[in-house]
């Protein structure tokens, strides 16, 4: 197969689901939310950052988050997912790539994203070294359907475009 020019953009997608449980902290896109429940996970359970890392790694042809940071490794227990982003971006930089744009959909009944959207965009822009006007985040409810609609889980879906650094 002929190689394509490095300049051509690469698209990636990441999807992450976490169960919600009372008494868990809630950090989404690296921003702490004041809630009485949060995502269950081996790390801090930040579904947005997990999906974003998977999208970026996918676009770069670098496998996935689970192979970089095993959820069976005690060293990753309770870990801030922002650290996963740092390592993801280090590997992407090694390949001379950068994030050109990122679009996020977070499906959850609660918490409402609106009060935190600006902060979430800013944090994603910082973590993935992309201008804030090239990051977007949308909140959707599950319309009372399935596990998300019943408030049992949340799902983040992220699409990114990578280009040359």
Q: Would you give the DSSP letter of residue 64?
A: -
Interaction between residue 50 and Mg ion (CB under 5 A): yes
Q: What is the DSSP string of 66-109?
A: HHHS-TT-GGGTT--THHHHHHHHHHHHHTTEEEEEEEEEEE-S
Nearer to Mg ion, 62 or 84 (CB): 84
Interaction between residue 16 and Mg ion (CB under 5 A): yes
| Least distance CB 135 / Mg ion (angstroms) | 20
Interaction between residue 54 and Mg ion (CB under 5 A): no
d(CA 10, CA 14): 14
Q: Total binding residues for Mg ion by CB under 5 A?
A: 2
- Asked if 81 contacts 38 with a C-beta cutoff of 8 angstroms, the reply is no
Nearer to Mg ion, 78 or 131 (CB): 78
Interaction between residue 116 and Mg ion (CB under 5 A): no
- List contacts with Mg ion (CB under 5 A): 16, 50
């Amino acid at each position: 197969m002929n190689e394509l020019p490095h300049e051509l953009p690469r698209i990636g997608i990441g999807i992450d689901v976490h169960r919600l449980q009372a008494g868990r902290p809630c950090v989404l896109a690296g921003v702490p939310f004041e809630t009485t429940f949060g995502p269950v996970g081996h790390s801090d359970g930040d579904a947005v950052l997990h999906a974003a890392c998977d999208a970026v790694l996918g676009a770069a042809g670098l496998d996935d988050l689970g192979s970089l940071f095993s959820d069976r490794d005690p060293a990753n227990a309770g870990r801030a997912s922002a650290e996963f982003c740092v390592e993801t971006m280090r590997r992407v930089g090694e390949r001379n790539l950068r994030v050109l744009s990122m679009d996020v959909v977070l499906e959850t009944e609660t918490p409402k994203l609106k009060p935190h959207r600006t902060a979430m965009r800013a944090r994603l822009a910082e973590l993935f070294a992309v201008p804030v006007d090239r990051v977007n985040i949308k909140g959707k409810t599950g319309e009372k359907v399935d596990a998300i609609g019943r408030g049992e889980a949340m799902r983040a879906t992220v699409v990114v475009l990578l280009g040359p650094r």
